Structure 1
Amino acid sequence: MRQSYTPSVPELRAFIACAQHGTTTMAASNLNLTQSAISRSVASLEQRLGVILFERVRKRLTLSPAGHAFLPKAQSILASLDDAAVGIMAFGGGETVLRIAALPSFGRAWLLPKLAPFLKQHSGIRIDLTARLSPVDFSTDTIDIAIMRTSHIPPFAETIPIMPEKLVVVAAPFILGDRSDLDDQSLLNLPLLQQSTRPTLWLDWFKSHDTDPRRALRGARMDHFDMVVDAAIAGMGLAIVPDIIAQPALDRGDLAMATKRHFETGDHYTMITPVGGMSQTARLFIDWVQTGIAGCPKTDGAQ
């Protein structure tokens, strides 16, 4: 039988503790083990790998060059095991996990307010929610439902539309003063906040005008719409954002509409599931959401 060169978890823990504390005695105290158990684990690991991991000088342990190279890898391995263990604990108690990947800002504005009442009705379900800007790959990602725009639909997926994407231009009230319903030229005279993952939004807004693109593309840049909204509230400039994301700040009075005009991108926010692979938990959530979306049609075919 071929010898295994894969270290055991006790060996990795003993090695890392010795590297951190410098003696087997202190490592043993930290791990609540005996000093001899730590020594055996380190010796076993060195024999398994065929290298010296520590230089032993006056009862102190100093990492050898091989030990220095191995330490970050050993720490990463244990951290990954810990993460996997914590993740799998979500299955405890017979509960079912619903894994959702959502666009960060839309997820915050639209999805999060819906989760509490859903979980109250379905107490045996736990939510594993991931912020995601890129399309999912259901063949490799452990995701039940992706909540994205239609431009993010992967092959072999089914979709359930939520709402069209409608962009509005907003600003802090003190930036606008007594002005309202600004024309495009007035908008261009104010700082325009940029969304770095969708850099053409202002160009799309001004596409019907003969606008110098350099004027439309200058301004502070942020990754997420939430950050753009916060920057607008702080008075850094005008924000062009989906209306559903701007609405809470508009309701609070932290933002005001800079113009009555809006812009529909042609994209829809949609729930995306794998063809023929929808879990029962995902179906429960989708059915529950659809009851609250007037005229929300189902799409059975692949997109």
Structure 2
Amino acid sequence: MNDIHLPRLGELQCFVAAARLGGTTQAAGQLNLTQSAVSRSINAMEERLGVRLFHRVRRRIVLSDAGRAMLPEAEAILARLSEASLTVMAFGGRAQVLRLAALPSFSSAWLVPRLAAFRRHAPDITFDLSARLDPPNFTSEALDAAILRLSGKPADGVIADILMDETLVVVAAPSLLDPRPGKGDGLPDLPLLQQATRPGLWLDWFRHTGRDMRTILPGARFTHFDMVLAAAIAGMGIALVPELLAAEPLARGTLALASDRRLNSDTPYALTYPARSLDLPAFRQFRDWLVDDARAAR
């Protein structure tokens, strides 16, 4: 790749500082450089790009049209580089870092509480864990694995280990349930809280009850199950949520079952990963531990 036109890091830093502070002298003070060093860097960057980034007006510099176009892009590059550096530094020098993506609510309710046990089992392995709703493209994304609901056959080159089936339950704040008579389907006449990324859940629940969907009172709509659960605990209505996510508030008594019936979905939770991840000893160790732990939890 011919990168002769690409600015150097120091040139970008000098350009951004001079643009934001209004002069090379001010930029030099911020960057702990001499004024002449800042000027040379900006001149070198202009020569690489073949454009003037500043107009020189007496002792002042003013951004040119090209400079105004370049400034936000240069700031974004420096910000991304800073973020990447801090991310790497956070690993604390560990060589074995597993990059995982997982469903946000599943992560907070089930996965993250178990990682401490894995840490005791494998103290030299750490994680870079991100929230994810959609299947990743392992070819283009720097991920070792993802924990998602498996719908259909995995993509070519992707391996899937089933962790557990998904069972959904209907829950609400106990104070809402005690005085409310149930309908023909056994549910009290309360707003039904909606999960935005799975809008068909309540339709699946009522599919075989014979209830007219037009009589259902829709409730507030939320993006994540964590938010749905919080709304149910606050008394905003009834929630249809995965049982494993509701287990803790049910045990605490902040939620109660609004029906004894359960809904089994056809999308189990699965650890998905590209074949290349099997070349990583740390991943194989985590995969074996996770599959065994999920089996024990079942």
TM-score, L = length of structure 1: 0.89
1:98 deviation in Å? Answer: 0.9
For each residue in 1:155-177, what CA deviation from the matched residue of structure 2 results, as whole angstroms up to 9, or x when unmatched?
A: 33222221110000111122223
Q: After the TM superposition, which of the residue ranges 158-167 and 192-201 deviates more from structure 2?
A: 158-167
Residue in 2 that maps onto 1:173: 174
SS, match of residue 293 in structure 1: helix
Residue in 1 that maps onto 2:192: 192
Q: After the TM superposition, which of the residue ranges 286-295 and 17-26 deviates more from structure 2?
A: 286-295
* Change in CA separation of 1:113 and 1:83 when aligned onto 2, cut-off 3 Å: same
1:9 deviation in Å? Answer: 0.7
- The whole-number CA distance in structure 2 between the counterparts of 1:105 and 1:229 is 10
* Change in CA separation of 1:214 and 1:27 when aligned onto 2, cut-off 3 Å: farther
Residue in 2 that maps onto 1:119: 119
Equivalent residues of 2:22, 2:61 under 8 A apart: yes
Residue in 2 that maps onto 1:280: 281
- 5+ residue gaps, structure 2, are none
1:61 deviation in Å? Answer: 2.4
- The whole-number CA distance in structure 2 between the counterparts of 1:8 and 1:86 is 20
- Give the paired residue count: 295
Q: After the TM superposition, which of the residue ranges 236-245 and 185-194 deviates more from structure 2?
A: 185-194
1:88 deviation in Å? Answer: 3.6
For 2:170, the aligned partner's letter is V
1:97 maps to 2:97: yes
- The whole-number CA distance in structure 1 between the counterparts of 2:291 and 2:117 is 14
Q: Cα RMSD over matched residues?
A: 2.3
Residue in 1 that maps onto 2:218: 218
- 5+ residue gaps, structure 1, are 298-303
Residue in 1 that maps onto 2:151: 151
* Change in CA separation of 1:295 and 1:232 when aligned onto 2, cut-off 3 Å: closer
Equivalent residues of 1:202, 1:216 under 8 A apart: no
SS, match of residue 267 in structure 1: coil
Residue in 2 that maps onto 1:271: 271
For each residue in 1:236-272, what CA deviation from the matched residue of structure 2 results, as whole angstroms up to 9, or x when unmatched?
A: 1111000010111111221111111111012211111
1:274 deviation in Å? Answer: 1.9
Equivalent residues of 2:100, 2:144 under 8 A apart: yes
1:228 deviation in Å? Answer: 0.6
- The whole-number CA distance in structure 2 between the counterparts of 1:95 and 1:21 is 40
For each residue in 1:35-62, what CA deviation from the matched residue of structure 2 results, as whole angstroms up to 9, or x when unmatched?
A: 1111111111122222221233342322
Equivalent residues of 1:136, 1:154 under 8 A apart: no
- The whole-number CA distance in structure 1 between the counterparts of 2:88 and 2:239 is 41
For 1:245, the aligned partner's letter is L
1:209 deviation in Å? Answer: 2.9
- The whole-number CA distance in structure 2 between the counterparts of 1:202 and 1:3 is 55
SS, match of residue 291 in structure 1: helix
Residue in 1 that maps onto 2:236: 236
For 2:160, the aligned partner's letter is T
For 2:115, the aligned partner's letter is L
1:69 maps to 2:69: yes
SS, match of residue 67 in structure 2: helix
